A = this chain, B = another copy of it.
Amino acid sequence: MNAQLSEPMISSQRALSAQAMAFASVGNVAVGFDILGHSVAGAGDRAVVRRIDEPTVRIAAIHGSSHELPMDAARNTAGAALLSLRRALGLQHGFEVELHKGIALGSGMGGSAASCVAALVAANALLERPLPREALYSFALDGETVASGSRHGDNLGPMLLGGLVLATRDRLLRLPVPEAWHCALVHPHVVLETRRSRAVLADGFALSEVVAQHANLALVLTGCHRGDATLVREGLKDVLVEPRRAPLVPGFSRVKQAALDNAAMGASISGGGPSVFGWYERREDAERAASAMAAAFAEEGIASDTLVSPINGPAATLVDEEVE
């Protein structure tokens, strides 16, 4: 048996079906474009995965999405991840997947990544020797690439491991964060596709911008390692990407100001947007901020949902099928 198992074994060979939930996430976290993210409690995608005899991967159903999502496994984020898992392990059997979307696509909260991770965590539990979470990362990246056209793990990483995660091409590292620190995440009901929010980044970046962002990243990482909010407060500013993306998010500057006015360590766009997040030293501040941010969107005539979560948010988890 693998000593690093993070999954409970589903009892014996007879388990043919498992269900997992992967939670939302804040991507980029202002200073770590494509490499830094944290999970967020309170919303998630569920995947029910069944082991099937045919050597293939099938998407059986997708519930709860207002978008038309690909049912062709190779073009579906969850399907592509399971195909990659099958290939890498040389599995004889296949998988059938049913997805229950709880995170809106194009929200900047990792909607595609969550389906991918939930499906992998469920499928992994059906293996004779489930892999450690880190070992699922490369399959998840294969799935994410299908959805976003870019191989980045800042949503996948925190969903797999929980909390704040540094996700490079080859590796996931969970970073320490004080338990008391919370995030306010507000999702306005406007759609912004990841591909569109990437297009505004096509031009080059000046050295001065890059150096300023490096310094901010270093301050945030050091602040998290030391549990020092002063350092995070100094560094949690996106000078590279936010200025280019802010015009794509209606009402952004007003919402960001609302986040900052409530004692935020910093605030920016989550992932490709349009969701906006702020980081707080205390849950109460995050709760007040979430209301103020939603009110700011409302002033622009935009409805929104809010989430308040520890930055040490939950990892994806197996759930009882009875929940179904």
Task: Give CA–CA (A291, B106) in the complex, Å.
Answer: 55
- Asked whether A218 and B221 contact (CB < 8 A) given A210-B33, A210-B240, the answer is yes
Q: Report the minimum CB–CB distance from A269 to chain B (whole Å).
A: 15
Bound Cα distance from A261 to B2, whole angstroms: 34
- On whether A36 and B218 interact (CB within 8 A), knowing A173-B231, A210-B210, A225-B225, the answer reads yes
Q: Which residues of B contact A34 (CB under 8 A)?
A: 211, 214
In the assembled complex, the Cα of A234 lies from the Cα of B235 at a distance in Å of 24
A35–B206 CB distance below 8 A: no
A35 (CB) vs chain B CBs: closest residue:
B215
Instruction: For the complex, give the distance between the alpha carbons of A120 and B138 in Å.
Output: 51
**Cα–Cα, bound, A219→B218 (Å):** 11
Contact A219 B33 (CB under 8 A): no
Contact of A35 among B36, B205, B218, B234 (CB under 8 A): B218
| Chain B nearest CB, measured from A202 CB (Å) | 8
Tell whether, in the assembled complex, residue B217 and residue A214 are in contact, meaning their CB atoms are under 8 Å apart.
yes
> How many copies, total?
2
- B35, B204, B205, B221: which contacts A221 (Cβ < 8 A)? B221
Residue in B closest to A169 when the chains form the complex, CB atoms:
B215
- In the bound complex, residues from chain B placing their C-beta under 8 Å from that of A234 are 168, 170-171
In the complex, the chain B residue whose C-beta lies closest to that of A152 is: B211
B35 touches A168 (CB 8 A): no
Given A207-B205, A231-B173, decide whether A222 and B166 contact each other with a Cβ distance below 8 A: yes
Inter-chain contacts of A206 with B (CB < 8 A):
204-205
A32 at interface by CB-CB < 8 Å: yes
CB of A192 within 8 A of chain B? no
Mask: chain A, 168-203; 1 = CB below 8 Å from B; 0 = not: 111101010000000000000000000000000111
| Chain B residues closer than 8 Å to A166, beta-carbon distance | 215, 218-219, 222
* A213 interface residue per 8 A CB criterion: yes
Interchain CA distance A205-B33 in the complex, whole Å: 15
Question: How far is it, in angstroms, between the C-alpha of A221 and the C-alpha of B202 when the chains are bound?
Answer: 28
Interface contact A215-B173, CB-CB below 8 Å: no
Q: In the complex, which residues of chain B have a beta carbon less than 8 angstroms from the beta carbon of A36? A: 218
A209 to chain B, nearest CB (A): 9
Q: Please name all residues of chain B whose beta carbon is closer than 8 Å to the beta carbon of A218 when the two chains form the complex.
A: 32, 35-36, 166, 168, 217, 221
Q: Which among B33, B152, B205 is the interface contact of A204 at CB below 8 angstroms?
A: B205
How far, in whole Å, are A205 and B168 apart by their CA atoms in the complex? 19
Contacting A168 at CB < 8 Å: which of B152, B173, B204, B219? B219
A75 CB to closest chain B CB (Å) equals 24
B residues near A214, Cβ cutoff 8 Å: 32-35, 213-214, 217
Which are the 8 A-B pairs with shortest beta-carbon distances?
A: A204-B204, A168-B215, A225-B225, A35-B215, A34-B211, A205-B205, A166-B218, A201-B207
Pull 13 A–B residue pairs with CB atoms less than 8 Å apart, ordered by A. Answer: A33-B210, A35-B215, A35-B218, A168-B218, A168-B234, A171-B219, A171-B234, A205-B205, A205-B206, A210-B210, A221-B222, A222-B225, A225-B225
Known: A32-B214, A217-B218. 4 other contacts (CB 8 A): A201-B207, A204-B204, A217-B217, A222-B225
